[in-house]
Structure 1
Amino acid sequence: MGKSDIEIAVLRHRKARIRELRHRQLLHTADVSPPEAINYMAQGIYTVATEGNIGAFNALILAQGRAVSVLTEITPQGNTILHLAAVYAECGKTEVVKYILRKEEYANLINQKDHTGNTPLHLATVFWYPMIVHILTKDERVNVGEENKLGFTALDAAEECMDLNPTFRERLTWMALVCVGTPRALKLMPYDSFLAPVPQEGIIQSNEMPSAKKYKDRVNTLLLLAILVATVAFSAGFSVTKVPEGEKHWYKPVALQVFVVSNTIAMYSSVLTTVALIWAQLGDLVLILNVFKVALPLLGIALIFMSFAFLAGMFVVVGNQLWLHVLLLASGGIFLGMLVLLVVPFVCPYTSKPSLFRYVWRYPFWLLLMLIVRDDNDDDLE
């Protein structure tokens, strides 16, 4: 299908051409009723929403002269430009969404529903755009508990459309909603195909419940890792027992104390993780999921403190070479920083009820979100 002149102008970022085409069209449609004249702009606005070009967006608004009305009822389904921007925000093109949220005159678009009752947050959720969901939920004006005509909140829609074995993008979208305390509806209405962009079996409407068998390999892997950490921590506890004789540096006793404390925490945390995962071997799904909430944070603590213990132990046993101490400190600092960045997002309990914890867990979630954005940009370049 060929593109119209106004779509081509938007794609080529030609603001003057946009104004010229708009004025020419108004001359030819002087006797057209306002709603139809506004609908003519749907082509250009649709392209702006999908391309994410703010310059073209401003040019369209200035040419129309009706900043708010031109952005509503763009499609027969009652979608606004914020709906379109939320749906077509591929490859990190979130500029239009951010721009609309910054402008007070567009505040009425934030929670506006289309003809099926879906807000922009609903649409960004079911199309699995975690970055857009994150941007929308950060804005205090967005009503995360808004329900559509099916009685679904955004979280209900996510859980309804999510596969039994969800992808990383689906998990991040769900996490973005959970991190801000998005509520669930008290009563869910029957499933409607509009909520899912493609036919699929969701969690709620499917008769097949998640099986505990698919968690068996995960439990075994975590159990093996926990036993390995416990073994290493136990062995290390008897390897570094005192500061070598003749050492006069003040930091040697301090490093030994750090080693003892860190190694002890790593040892106990890994043992507790092992015992918890042994309980998970019973095979009950509810028990497995509850064990993960305890075992994953404990395993993360064990890994981090075992690394601290190793670094402190090396400071105790190395000689007096200054360059070696600097090398240990630099390499250890870089490694520990990377370890925290990788481990914390994996083990954080994002479903914590206290709002303070949910606010703190936003930061590791943001780190995971950067992986999705980077992946989108790489795909776009290819």
Structure 2
Amino acid sequence: MGSHPRVVSILTWDSRIDLQLMNKEGKTALDVALSCRARMPSFRERLTWKALRHAGARRAQRKQVQTQTPYMEFYKDRVNTLLLVATLIVTVTFAAGFSVPGKDDDSSEPSHGIMRNAVYNKFMFHTYIISNYIAFYSSSTAAVAIIWSQLGDLNLAIISLKFAVTLLGLALTMVSIAFMVGVHLVVSKNIELAIFVLVMGLIGILAISMVFAPLFFPSSSFHRITRYILYYPFHLLVIVTRSDVDDNDKI
């Protein structure tokens, strides 16, 4: 009820905790957490729900989602934001498909220039092409799914948005890889700079994956391996957003 995600997460890892235990009102811990939410839940409340769902907590009382205007307006804002992101990724990847790194200006063959007779650069070039194409079609599919969510049905909007967020997570990861590999191909003659680009690129991709993981992975998990994977991104978000600090203690 107090929305303390870090405390809830610690308790869920204790084998003595029964997440399906119900109170006198017939509510589980997840029911209680969801019943205390406001019209616009805070990120702290959302992290508390995720801590329970990652542990496999279930609801004892399942209510059908009603198509209320406030919720439709909330999802419309999310739809517009995701559609903008998907459109930007489609535009960037489309342009990147015709701007192949390592190609000479006076040659129409990508085998010339930096990639001449180099197995390593050939592998990196293939990685660039594959990553860019996966990002393009993932973001395009996400855009189509987001269009489906604009038909006015709240249940369809929720399903479409979950599908679109997963595809956008894949697209953003692939765009990051394509950017790293593309810059590496351009500066590959400078060994020190090329190594720097790879190292910083890998760190950036890891950071993006850690931040996006709570949105990218399923909200409910009954496998301990998945819980271990989601543990570190979850606590990173708790620390960054200061969700483990009481509201009165925040500056």
Does TM, scored on the shorter chain, surpass 0.5? yes
Q: 1:244 aligns with which of 112, 115, 128?
A: 112
In structure 1, the residue matched to 2:174 is 305
Q: 2:26 aligns with which of 151, 167, 178?
A: 151
**Matched residue pairs, number?**
242
Q: Give me the whole-angstrom Cα distance separating, in 1, the residues matched to 2:17 and 2:155.
A: 33
In structure 2, the residue matched to 1:325 is 194
Aligned-partner residue type, residue 333 of structure 1: L
Q: Percent identity?
A: 40
Q: 1:342 aligns with which of 205, 211, 216?
A: 211
Do the aligned residues in 2 keep the contact of 1:243 with 1:256 (CA within 8 Å)? Answer: no
TM-score (norm 1): 0.57
Q: How many Å apart are 1:250 and its aligned residue?
A: 3.4
Q: Deviations over 1:52-106 (max 9, x none)?
A: xxxxxxxxxxxxxxxxxxxxxxxxxxxxxxxxxxxxxxxxxxxxxxxxxxxxxxx
Contiguous gaps of at least 5 residues in structure 1 = 1-125, 189-202
Cα distance change on mapping 1:292 and 1:223 into 2, 3 Å: same
Q: Deviations over 1:325-351 (max 9, x none)?
A: 122123212322222222223333213
In structure 2, the residue matched to 1:278 is 147
In structure 1, the residue matched to 2:89 is 229
Q: 2:123 aligns with which of 251, 254, 264?
A: 254
Q: How many Å apart are 1:209 and its aligned residue?
A: 7.2
Q: How many Å apart are 1:138 and its aligned residue?
A: 0.6
TM-score (norm 2): 0.84
Cα distance change on mapping 1:244 and 1:342 into 2, 3 Å: farther
Q: How many Å apart are 1:307 and its aligned residue?
A: 1.1
Q: Give me the whole-angstrom Cα distance separating, in 2, the residues matched to 1:304 and 1:244.
A: 28
Q: How many Å apart are 1:154 and its aligned residue?
A: 0.7
Q: How many Å apart are 1:363 and its aligned residue?
A: 3.5
Q: How many Å apart are 1:173 and its aligned residue?
A: 1.0
Aligned-partner residue type, residue 287 of structure 1: L
Cα distance change on mapping 1:355 and 1:341 into 2, 3 Å: closer
Aligned-partner residue type, residue 8 of structure 2: V
Do the aligned residues in 1 keep the contact of 2:31 with 2:61 (CA within 8 Å)? Answer: no
Aligned-partner residue type, residue 229 of structure 1: I
SS for the counterpart of 1:376 is coil
Aligned-partner residue type, residue 184 of structure 1: R
Larger RCO, structures 1/2 (Cα 8 Å, 6+ apart)? 2
State yes or no: 1:219 paired with 2:87: no
SS for the counterpart of 1:150 is coil
Do the aligned residues in 1 keep the contact of 2:169 with 2:216 (CA within 8 Å)? Answer: yes
In structure 2, the residue matched to 1:53 is none
Q: Deviations over 1:295-333 (max 9, x none)?
A: 101001101101101111222233512222122123212
SS for the counterpart of 1:361 is helix
In structure 2, the residue matched to 1:142 is 17
Cα distance change on mapping 1:300 and 1:325 into 2, 3 Å: same
Do the aligned residues in 2 keep the contact of 1:293 with 1:349 (CA within 8 Å)? Answer: no
Q: Give me the whole-angstrom Cα distance separating, in 1, the residues matched to 2:62 and 2:113.
A: 71
Do the aligned residues in 1 keep the contact of 2:28 with 2:59 (CA within 8 Å)? Answer: yes
When the two chains are superposed, the root-mean-square deviation of aligned CA atoms in Å is: 2.9
Cα distance change on mapping 1:274 and 1:209 into 2, 3 Å: closer
Cα distance change on mapping 1:253 and 1:153 into 2, 3 Å: same
Cα distance change on mapping 1:142 and 1:319 into 2, 3 Å: closer
Of structures 1 and 2, the larger Rg is shown by 1
Q: How many Å apart are 1:358 and its aligned residue?
A: 4.9
Q: Give me the whole-angstrom Cα distance separating, in 1, the residues matched to 2:111 and 2:244.
A: 48
Q: 1:367 aligns with which of 227, 236, 239?
A: 236
Q: How many Å apart are 1:238 and its aligned residue?
A: 1.8
SS for the counterpart of 2:21 is coil
Do the aligned residues in 2 keep the contact of 1:243 with 1:316 (CA within 8 Å)? Answer: no
Do the aligned residues in 2 keep the contact of 1:350 with 1:358 (CA within 8 Å)? Answer: no
